[in-house]
Structure 1
């Protein structure tokens, strides 16, 4: 697992855990709040319905009070009149009054007239509740409420109902009415649905906040990582540039030592051996040995000069980049037998010494690759100077690049590119017009120096 992945996990996992915890707590408290709110609403509606039922019973009692108390025309006539009044008393769509004797016989039921005259003491609803028996017991206890399920006239279905019954003790009647409570269940369900929708919206907002936090955290981590990587790349390039500078300085020092010291000493030794050779006319063996030493010294001096030139060509410091490239091309042609065409413009002081050295080393690396891998017959080197940039192109007519091309172009290509990028240039690798390898370099020039000149 990479450091970046570990950092992402350390940052994002706590966010996800906290979000899940917040969502769970929010959901739990919301469900608790829903239960409490719906219970309170249900109690409030039931209390309102109880009061409403009491009001209806009071109206019914007011309607029959005079007849019930005075019984004009006798009890039978008064009871008939009261039953007629109760049958005609209705409210809302499903509101009506009913009356039973204490033994459970129905005497008034305007909505279900087939019940009148029957004894329903043992009648049970769908839940097994003894409806009439419990209503009569509630009435005997001073009047009271009882919940049961009963036929709803407007819909023809069985719904929950809140009934209320009182005792008319002079006649041993139970007078009652009730209201259906299915609307309470609908209202409670609507409230629960609203709360559930609010919970879903809250959880969705928490999810969006968490997602945004994760995206922001990931972006920040990626930004920091990218910034650190850029900083590391910058430092690495600076270190590489410094290494190259030190390397070039050391090469220059060693080249100077070889040219000015070792080479001169070898030349002095050669003069001495030449003198021995000229003075050894009488001794053929000594003369032959001296001649052999002269041959070895000539080869050594030539090799020392070659090594000195490879380490740091003096022509690059003395005559500039164009002349150095021309000299490099001639020497490469002599050593390899491959034709080298060089067209180079002078850039004067519009290019730093480090940039010149980098371009020279790139061409040197290209020529080495041509000799080792290209199997070419001809190499073209062109150096052109524009208003703002210097363009270098090295192209051969060899076998070209391997396919598929290694990512980054190989170690040598990466080293060349790093040299060029150190001075703000760009290097590209591709196929030439003849199928060989083509390397192009674009290097910015110092226009301030040109204007001053």
Structure 2
């Protein structure tokens, strides 16, 4: 084998091996992260649904509390209670049902043909005794039940999460349920997106491998009399490119895995904590609900600590429905309600029709900034402002510029130290990288009197 061929072989073989090892490692890590993310999303979905369902049933119980507490059990009182429950509903498929302790249906607004029938022996397609389980849980004081039931809008049997409570002196069980087919659909979308991300990453690695191999081969064919010296230099450069490729891939994964799930879990955490405050019921139910939600909040805090660098860049649905200005206003209200910090939100200029990519980046930056303020700033007041300097007929000296400003009166921080620290400032670096991708700039001013973050994007004319 000639020297030129040896050099080519020695350059290509380690590169291919290294890239294959990188591909296997990246795939393994991506699959593991995808599995963990799916489990976290599913748990958060179910926790949110359970809290929502308890809240609905408690509202229904309060609606007839004056009747059940009256001590009357005459037919007129019972009929009035049924009418009250029948008039209540939520969403397209949300309703309340009433059974007696022997499994006879007393009220069902969506399936009136069941009223008066004894469904004690009713079983689903898996042989599970549906009504018997509902009655069993109600006799134990009430709680959650998983079962299958016909969904009114589709006419198909789908998984359902139910919650029942007893009204002992009437011999009733009152309950409701939420269908879970949309949860599975959401999880299927997450799985599909994760599979596409993994496949795209592997294709990129394969492309880098092919291009690198071709580059090395072309360089080897061009070797001259000093090919040994040139080959050594090429090998060193190639090794550096492999290292750079690894670092770039890690940086991309860190950016993509940080901005989505962390923000989503923060939103879920806010909802759960708000649910704890708004939860109403008897003392025992409050104690159980409070303890359950506290454990959930603690678990979410641990998850947030583990996945701060994880993101899949999910697009906020509010942007599609309401636009950037309305979405930021909703975000400010939600943050103020959760954290207790007043957020003064204001807008200026024509903010309709902003590019999709720009709206997404600015919304993400606002989320990250508010999260950082809550965690680290110790602020008492926050100002959130979105403005557009010109909406039409912009000139070269007066560009069409959209600007997001987030200011707080917190303790501040050393921006340069955070930016250069290897284990800190991931959020700030992600903000800058996101803005750079849409041609924007990020400015940060921080003192002991507070911090001001300014994200600006010049819109194409």
Greater C-alpha radius of gyration = 1
**Higher normalized helix content (fraction of residues):** 1
Q: TM-score, normalised by structure 2?
A: 0.47
Q: TM-score, normalised by structure 1?
A: 0.48
